Structure 1
Amino acid sequence: MTEQAPALSPRDILAARQDNLSLRDRDLADKLGITEAQLVAAHVGIDVTRISADLNDIFPRLQGLGEVMALTRNRSCVIEKVGQYVNYHAGKHASMVLTADIDLRMFPSHWVSAFAVERTTDRTIRRSLQIFDAAGDAVHKIFLRDGSDLAHWNALVRDLRLDHQPQTLEVDPRKPVEAPKANADKADILRAEWAKMTDTHQFLRLTSKLKMNRLGAYRIAGEPLARLIEPAEIDTMLEAVRDQGIEVMVFVGNQGCIEIHGGPIETLKSMGPWQNVLDPRFNLHLRSDHIAEVWAVTKPTQRGPAVSVEAFDAEGGLIFHVFGRRTEARDSRPEWGTIVEGLKSAKHKETA
């Protein structure tokens, strides 16, 4: 029987941070075999303060910070948007921030631990609020910018500070990604009900009713509802959006938060396995080598067909998805549809 290695102490984690200053927190945590939240917690009392993770405590206080950067990510994609946190709508099961710049859907049950971080770099102090789920994975982060209000930051940290400030953090095991789930015997029902949809939000209710999930349904629906395309066509799609100057909606999320970019894509730059959008107020960092399946999907709505391109990893997890930017008047954008139609089809996977 192999003896289990002892857990790292906060002192061990702090020493490892000093030895690996160039590594990002998530990469260092993976290297140490701990979670990112545990890495951050080890710095409590030094440059980190434990704060309330309650959305209704945090979000009404954010507007006073002024302009900040909002970051949401999963294992394969990071989205960053610059703007102000205003127009917050609280909800028991889902909350929202709705602005032209920062557009979020948040699920409070996954907001479990939170920290105010003030990390000194060679040039400055980088301040952020960082929220994690029960497994210690980042749900959402808020970074101050040069013009943010530091007096308000100090008051916010003071108001949100918890009485108990330990340097250790207990986390739950990560839940595995749900594998593609479908029932080929119900494929005809799926297609018939799909064709009757009047809103894109009805889709997940439909798959749930049929005991399927998103990717499983795509695999058995068939064209014209869902078409498997080559993973490399993601770059083709992004380049066409850039070159044609059209506006899209890019969704990146995890279990606790979905962040949305609505607008153009102007600057693309590939670096190793990463494809990057590097615009002044919108950044996207995508691990292209993590993309295992890509689907072009059409969902009927009352305002015309909503066409999306959706990328999944090898486990069946949704990495990100893109629509033509919708307006109150229409869900359909012909120029976006033309881009999607031109993407190369791939060989179909076996049905789930």
Structure 2
Amino acid sequence: MALDARISADEIREHISQNPKMRARDLADQIGVGEAALLAAQGARRISAAPDDIMPALKACGPVMALTRNISAVHEKVGVYDNYHSGEHASMVLNEEIDLRIFSSHWVHGFAVTTETDNGPRHSIQVFDAAGDAIHKVFTRDGTDMAAFEAMMNTLATGDTSDTIDLGVRAPVEVAKGDADKADVLRTEWAKMTDTHQFMRLTSKLKMNRLGAYRIAGAPFVKPLAPIALNDALVTLGQQDTEIMLFVGNRGCIQIHSGPLNNIKPMGPWQNVMDPDFNLHLRADHVAEVWAVEKPTKRGPALSIEAFDAHGALILQMFGRRKESDKIDHTDAFRKVIDSLPALHPEEV
């Protein structure tokens, strides 16, 4: 959707007052602005959006809820922002609970937000990209050190009190890029991989992207699955208590859950995981393509289930979890789940 810079702060506030229960992302899309414009119009406190400022300060706050989303999936994880590593192009938070990959060039607009709820005020910090789309949000919990959280917000505050915000154009989703003439080269180089991180360098070298490569690679590297396979996988993994790694991301942040999926609860178009310290909210009706993917590594094949929407955007990835005591990059249980999933019939292609 194109963003409309002509909408005034007064008009945005009027839309908010008329739709008090609507989710911020949905309302922003409805009126044609970036979500950050809603916060600016409501006078939310501006803070630094730099990960190097935010992440070290969060550690002192104790347990909080980390939220990373894209248009089709929301990933929520409770934990402490410990073990932050800064990098020039990519940074990370790496611990058992909060596991993030951060691409700081997309962390542009920051806000400290207080929202009144039926259970009292809810405090958060929220970061958006240049177009005003959410990159990462952090919400307080009952166990959060609120004095440390308040001190952090004071330290991060920029003093900007404007109720408008200068937003750029939302970048379009990159469509699948493949080249059938390079299919043999892709397969040859794919078979030589020794680490999953080499895959993106390979596709970049061949001027492809992830989905484009999957569409031409063929067996034994990829297998197209029916769109319902993603939901089937979530349900089956939950029933079997199989540990996985589940990735949800956007241009600026990837958030990872490691562990089982236990409490699966569908609600309308949403399929949900509602575990005590991990929630996933998935728009199942957005799932257009699902792929079972196998990449060779030094420790054996890494298996994943990967889902895309109708525009070619990556919704999420799931991998069989490998513990240090294991010898390979997946569990037998995860492979068996993949083998049980419905394949995409030729007439569905």
Name the structure 2 match of 1:18. 17
Alignment TM-score, normalising by the size of structure 1: 0.95
Question: Which residue type is aligned with residue 133 of structure 1?
Answer: D
8 Å CA contact retained: 1:228, 1:348 = no
- 1:143 corresponds in structure 2 to 139
Q: For residue 60 of structure 2, give the secondary structure of its aligned residue in structure 1.
A: helix
Partner deviation per Cα, 1:9-65 (whole Å, 9 max, x = no partner): 222222322221111111111222211010111122xxx210001111111100111
Runs of 4+ in 1 over 6 A off after TM superposition: none
The yes-or-no answer on 1:63 pairing with 2:59 is yes
Q: 5+ unaligned residues in a row in structure 1: which ranges?
A: none
Q: Kindly provide the amino acid, as one letter, of the partner of residue 39 in structure 1.
A: L
1:231 paired to 2:227: yes
* Residue matched to 1:42: 41
Distance 2:154 2:203 in 1: 45
What does residue range 169-318 of structure 1 map to in structure 2 within 5 Å? 169-318=165-314
Question: Structure 2 CA distance, aligned partners of 1:107 and 1:5?
Answer: 26
Distance 1:180 1:5 in 2: 27
Q: Does 1:131 align with 2:139?
A: no
In the other structure, the counterpart of 1:87 is 83
Q: CA deviation at 1:6?
A: 8.0
What is the TM-score of this pair, normalised by structure 2?
0.96
Aligned to 1:345: 343
| Counterpart-to-counterpart distance in 1, 2:346 and 2:148 | 54
3-state DSSP class of the match of 1:65?
Answer: coil
Question: Residues 310-335 of structure 1, C-alpha deviation per residue, up to 9 Å, x if partnerless?
Answer: 00011111000100012234313111
Letter in 1 for 2:344: A
Which consecutive residues of structure 2, in runs of 5 or more, have no partner in the other structure?
A: none
User: Residue 348 and residue 192 in structure 1: after superposition, are their counterparts in 2 closer, same or farther (change >3 A)?
Assistant: farther
Amino acid at match of 1:172: G
Quote the offset at 1:348 in angstroms: 5.2
Query: Mean Cα displacement is larger for which, 21-30 or 98-107?
Result: 21-30
| C-alpha distance in structure 1 between counterparts of 2:4 and 2:25, whole Å | 21
Cα distance in 2 for partners of 1:140, 1:6 equals: 23
Identical amino acids, percent of aligned pairs: 55
Residues 5 and 33 of structure 2 are in contact (CA less than 8 Å); yes or no, is this contact kept in structure 1? Answer: no
Aligned-CA RMSD value: 1.7
Q: Is the 8 A contact 2:319 2:330 kept in 1?
A: no
Q: 1:309 and 1:231 mapped to 2: Cα distance?
A: 11
Select 1:118's aligned residue among 114, 117, 125. Answer: 114
Contact 1:14/1:42 (CA < 8 Å) preserved in 2? Answer: yes
Residue identity in the other structure for 1:59:
M
Are the counterparts in 2 of residues 131 and 139 from structure 1 also a CA contact under 8 Å? yes
Find the aligned partners of 1:335 and 1:246 in 2 and give their Cα distance: 7
1:314 is paired with a residue of what secondary structure?
coil
Per-residue displacement from partner, 1:186-232 (whole Å, max 9, x unpaired)?
11111111011110000010111111111111111111100100011
Amino acid at match of 1:345: A
Partner of 1:160: 156
Which digits, 9 at most, give the CA deviation of each residue in 1:284-337, with x for residues without a partner? 000111111000000011111100000001111100010001223431311111
Q: What is the letter of the counterpart of residue 333 of structure 2?
A: E
Distance 1:176 1:348, change over 3 A: farther
CA contact (8 A) 1:303 1:332 kept: no
C-alpha separation between the residues in 1 aligned to 2:5 and 2:195?
A: 52
Question: Partner of 1:99 in structure 2?
Answer: 95
Aligned letter for 1:203?
Answer: F
**Measured at CA, do residues 119 and 334 of structure 1 come closer, stay the same or move farther in structure 2, by a change above 3 Å?**
same
Listed one character per residue, the Cα deviations across residues 113-148 of structure 1 (whole Å, up to 9, x for unaligned) are: 000001122330010000000111000000001221
Once the two structures are TM-superposed, the CA of residue 350 in structure 1 deviates from its matched residue by: 11
Instruction: Give the aligned partner of residue 335 of structure 1.
Output: 333
